[in-house]
Amino acid sequence: MQETISYWPLLGVGVVIAGFALRFNALLVVTVAGLVTGLAAHMPIDALLASIGAGFVKSRNLPLILILPLPVIGLLERHGLKEHAQNWIARIKSATTGRLLIVYLFVREITAALGLTSLGGHPQMVRPLLAPMAEGAAETRYGTLPEHVRHKLRALSAATDNVGLFFGEDIFVAFGAIMLMHTFLRENGVDVDPLHIAMWGIPTALAAFLIHAYRLYRLDGYLARELRQPAAAANLAPCREN
């Protein structure tokens, strides 16, 4: 006799989507989603609270790991880390913002594929180094940047780190998602080696690199159009007055 599957526990997924879409506190959204899923699955309230408590105890050191680098980064920024990064990139005459981000994308994806995911990241790499270097490369060519251009460069720097990490780590054979897929397939009678699953991540990672690298290549053209036109208009204004 076929067993009936209840889809009510999937309500927790809807809670997560709605909570993130409405920009509620992430910890509150995840906690409520866990409660909704547990209650929909008819878990006893004591077992549900015990599961949430066990998960909290296992991850209690995670905030400390995330918070510890922040004072170090703040201290380095106070002593001119951003300025040194901008001055260093300004010495490389052939460096453009697009080329710099393409190189970082390549390095980030390769290192993530080797399991070295901690070599980059927003707090320890993008904010103190990559974004200032991207801005410095643009300022060397075009001078002072408008605020909307500056924010665009910062957003693209963060996006470049995200793309390189997300698609690069899918190639690493010991990545958690690969092991999860391997376990799921094995439990359902499909015996696939984890190495083969990781190898199938290579075409996706390559496509992601080419697509995002093309976007970064076009970034240099966007900066040229966006920043040279105001400069040309400013130069023509005195001539018209004369």
CA–CA–CA angle 21, 27, 30 (5° rounding): 70
Residue 170: pLDDT over 70? yes
Is residue 135 within 8 Å of residue 152, measured between CB atoms? no
Range 174-180, long-range pairs (CB < 8 A, 24+ positions): 174/115, 175/115
- 122-132 pLDDT, tens digit per residue, is 888 898 889 99
- For the chain, helix (H) and strand (E) counts, in that order, are 12, 0
Query: Average pLDDT over the chain, rounded to whole?
Result: 81
Is residue 108 within 8 Å of residue 165, measured between CB atoms? yes
- Residue found by looking up tokens 């866990």 in the block: 34
How many Cβ atoms sit within 10 Å of the Cβ of residue 201?
20
> Which tokens is 79 given?
């002593």
φ/ψ of 172, rounded to 5, equals -70, 125
How many Cβ atoms sit within 10 Å of the Cβ of residue 12?
20
Residue 205: pLDDT over 80? yes
Is residue 129 within 8 Å of residue 177, measured between CB atoms? no
pLDDT of residue 25: 80
Average pLDDT over residues 97-105: 95
Residue 151: pLDDT over 50? yes
Tell me 171's DSSP state: G
Residue 240: pLDDT over 60? no
Domain segments of the chain: what residues?
Answer: 8-60, 67-241
Average pLDDT over residues 214-226: 93
- 61-72 pLDDT, tens digit per residue, is 555 555 666 666
> Which tokens is 234 given?
């400013």
pLDDT of residue 232: 47
- 113-123 pLDDT, tens digit per residue, is 988 888 888 88
pLDDT of residue 183: 81
Name which residue leads in pLDDT, 76 or 130: 130
Tell me 126's DSSP state: I
pTM of the entire predicted model: 0.66
pLDDT of residue 147: 93
Q: Residue 71 carries which side chain, given as an amino acid letter?
A: P
- Residue found by looking up tokens 């290579």 in the block: 202
Range 221-228, long-range pairs (CB < 8 A, 24+ positions): 223/97, 223/138, 223/141, 223/142, 223/149, 226/146, 226/149, 227/138, 227/142, 227/143, 227/145, 227/146, 227/149, 228/142
How many Cβ atoms sit within 10 Å of the Cβ of residue 160?
27
> Which tokens is 108 given?
């980030």
Average pLDDT over residues 155-177: 88
